Structure formats: structure tokens, C-alpha cells
Amino acid sequence: MVKDGATTGKVAIVGEDFPFEDCNINEHVFRIEVDERYNPFYVFAYLFSGLGQQQISRLTSGAAQKGITKDAIKQIAIPVPPPETQNAIGDRAKRARDESRQLRVEAKDIIEKAKEQVERMMVEDKMI
């Protein structure tokens, strides 16, 4: 979770499919480890949701530089449904993340092809 600045409260999840063995985070990010009794994708989905973001926003303080403290994070109340519900929500969050990732790849390919077409048209018309 981003702890300060323009993106305070923004959350992300690093799943088991993270492609790097090691990584660094900096002083502007909180690393939140989820207790094994809870589905981490469920917790992510809740914190990412409007309800989670409202709680985070209410706990954010500061004038010039907004931020959230470690103690404030401990005050976030995450409803804990039965494991089956957590898993269903977590699975939906994973699917949405995977679909988003795939759409970004597809969009990048479409943009690259369009760029090549425009460049080819410009060369053919001797505009370049």
C-alpha cells in the first residue's frame, strides 16, 4: 500500500507468479503480509474496493503531503466472510487481474501495429 503522496492508499498484490525472486520497496510503500487464515486476494480485493478505499481515505492525514501511518493501517476493519466466500472473491480478483494483464498486452500490440501502419503510410506517401 502506498503510504504517502499523490497515490496514498493505492494497493497492489504480489502473487506467487511474481517473476522476480528478489525485489525492493521504498519508504513510501507499506508491505502488508496477510495471515495465512485469510485469502490474500480477498484482502487485496477489499482494500482495492470502494469500501476499503473509503476507510483508507478517512485514515489519511496531512496538509501538504497526505499520508497514512502504520498505526492507522491497523485500524482498517476488513469484514471476514467464510473461507468459501473469501476464496470466491479472491478468485474473481485473480481473474480480473489476469484479464487486465492480457488486455494491456493486447493493447500494446494494437498500438505498435497502428504505429507501424502510420509510418508505412507516411513513407509510401513520401511524407517522411
Neighbours of 39 (CB within 10 A): 22
Q: Where do we find the cell 476507510? A: 55
pLDDT (tens digit per residue) in 8-59: 999 999 878 888 888 888 888 999 889 999 999 999 999 999 999 999 999 8
CA separation for the pair 128, 124 (Å, rounded): 9
- Which triple of cell numbers denotes residue 32? 502488508
Please state, in angstroms and rounded to a whole number, the distance separating the CA atoms of residues 5 and 19.
27
- Report the pLDDT value the prediction gives residue 127, as an integer from 0 to 100: 63
Select from 12, 7, 8 the least CA-distant residue to 68.
Answer: 8
* % of the chain with per-residue pLDDT over 70: 97
- Which of 28, 34, 36, 16 shows the shortest CA–CA distance to 78? 34
Confidence of residue 62 (pLDDT cuts 50, 70, 90): confident
